[in-house]
């Protein structure tokens, strides 16, 4: 009788950007998977992306398609790594052939946060002085804040979170607008001065969630990754991504969203704004959470009827489409 020889446990290689925040997020995913699958080895491999290397140019001028993901995706297609952990807001809605979004983890607070210079610690965003210099590298934030606060001065800010905060503390800015989730993951919640309400700033598509991308034909791995997926976050983010995809927008386009799920009902609000803040269209749809992507498409059509396509066309003419 032929003896049964069991295969050795698989070693799974996780791809991550080298930034501090990316590594914190990737090591968290590694730990969750180790808890569920203690017999499998999960190794972290780091890579630098185009967005990490170019720090002296505004993100919108570089081109946004795969700015923080392309190198990791090539690593998967070349079988150098098995899956990659992304901040979901950085992951394009159209993935390269052969790759798939395998899982979406439970979302942290997706809101934008105001971080102020010490001299403004008694202020909220509504009470900052005229001409206050606000740092942001996001066209989405810029457009919404210009719409609401045209009396502020806005200045691009690049670099990792530590670098940005150092520039703020050195007096180059009066305040920064950052993702609350990033500050929380780096245990810097004490720097959050104010969580911006949705009436002021709708957040980025996928903000606060992690997206795990892998090869579409690796069914064994996809099954493992589903163990750390959060169904409610998945439904919210799939609705948001469908909305963005249908409008042909990218990470660096002024498109903002807000989603909530209550009793299996998903509420999705979205905006499209011009970079100068002069034009802004907004609407909301409500429907079954298990029909998330159709809701996103429905909202995109509503905003298109209100003029979203014309606003986006103007933006693409000015900044060009990232390649």
Structure tokens at 101: 């979004």
Quote the distance between the C-alpha of residue 283 and its chain's center: 21
24: left (phi over 0), alpha (psi -120 to 50) or beta: alpha
Type and span of the H or E element at 231: helix 231-246
Residue 44: exposure state from Cβ atoms within 10 A (0-12, 13-18, ≥19) = middle
Secondary structure (H, E, C), 149-211: CCCCEEECCCCCHHHHHHHHHCCCCCEEEEEHHHHHHCCCHHHCCEECCCCCCCECCCCCCEE
Which residues are CB-contacts of 46 (< 8 A; sequence separation ≥ 6)?
15, 16, 17, 18, 23
Nearest-10 crossing angle of helices 231-246, 292-305: 30
Catalytic pick among 64, 82, 90, 174: 90
Per the annotation, the verdict on 90 as an active-site residue is: yes
The closest of 164, 175, 246, 176 to 205, measured between CA atoms, is 246
Question: Given the DSSP bridges, would you call strands 153-155 and 133-135 parallel, antiparallel or unpaired?
Answer: parallel
Dihedral sign, CA of 198, 24, 236, 249? positive
**What is the Cα Rg of the chain in Å?**
20
Gap between the Cα atoms of 263 and 41, Å rounded = 39
Q: Is 216 left (phi over 0), alpha (psi -120 to 50) or beta?
A: alpha
Q: List residues with catalytic annotation.
A: 90
């Amino acid at each position: 009788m032929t003896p049964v020889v069991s295969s050795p446990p698989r070693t799974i290689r996780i791809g991550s950007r080298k930034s501090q925040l990316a590594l914190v997020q990737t090591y968290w995913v590694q730990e969750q998977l180790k808890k569920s699958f203690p017999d499998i080895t999960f190794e972290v491999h780091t890579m630098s992306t185009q967005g990490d290397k170019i720090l002296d140019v505004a993100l919108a001028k570089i081109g946004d398609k795969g700015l923080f993901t392309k190198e990791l995706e090539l690593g998967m297609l070349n079988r150098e790594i098995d899956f990659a952990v992304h901040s979901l807001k950085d992951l394009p809605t159209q993935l390269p052939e052969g790759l798939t979004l395998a899982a979406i983890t439970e979302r942290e607070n997706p809101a934008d946060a105001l971080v102020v210079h010490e001299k403004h610690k008694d202020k909220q965003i509504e009470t900052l002085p005229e001409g206050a210099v606000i740092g942001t590298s996001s066209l989405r934030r810029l457009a919404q804040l210009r719409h609401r606060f045209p009396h502020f001065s806005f200045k691009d800010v690049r670099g990792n979170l530590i670098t940005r905060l150092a520039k703020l503390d050195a007096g180059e800015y009066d305040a920064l607008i950052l993702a609350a989730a990033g500050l929380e993951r780096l245990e810097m919640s004490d720097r959050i001065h104010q969580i911006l309400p949705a009436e002021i700033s709708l957040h980025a598509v996928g903000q606060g969630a992690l997206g795990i991308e892998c090869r579409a034909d690796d069914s064994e791995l996809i099954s493992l990754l589903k163990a750390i997926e959060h169904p409610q976050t998945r439904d919210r983010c799939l609705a948001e991504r469908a909305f963005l995809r249908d409008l042909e927008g990218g990470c660096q386009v002024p498109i903002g969203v807000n989603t909530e799920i209550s009793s299996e009902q998903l509420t999705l609000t979205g905006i499209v704004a011009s970079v100068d803040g002069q034009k802004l269209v907004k609407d909301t749809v409500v429907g079954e959470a298990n029909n998330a992507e159709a809701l996103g498409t429905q909202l995109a059509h509503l905003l298109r009827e209100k003029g979203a396509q014309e606003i986006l066309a103007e933006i693409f003419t000015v900044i060009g489409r990232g390649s």
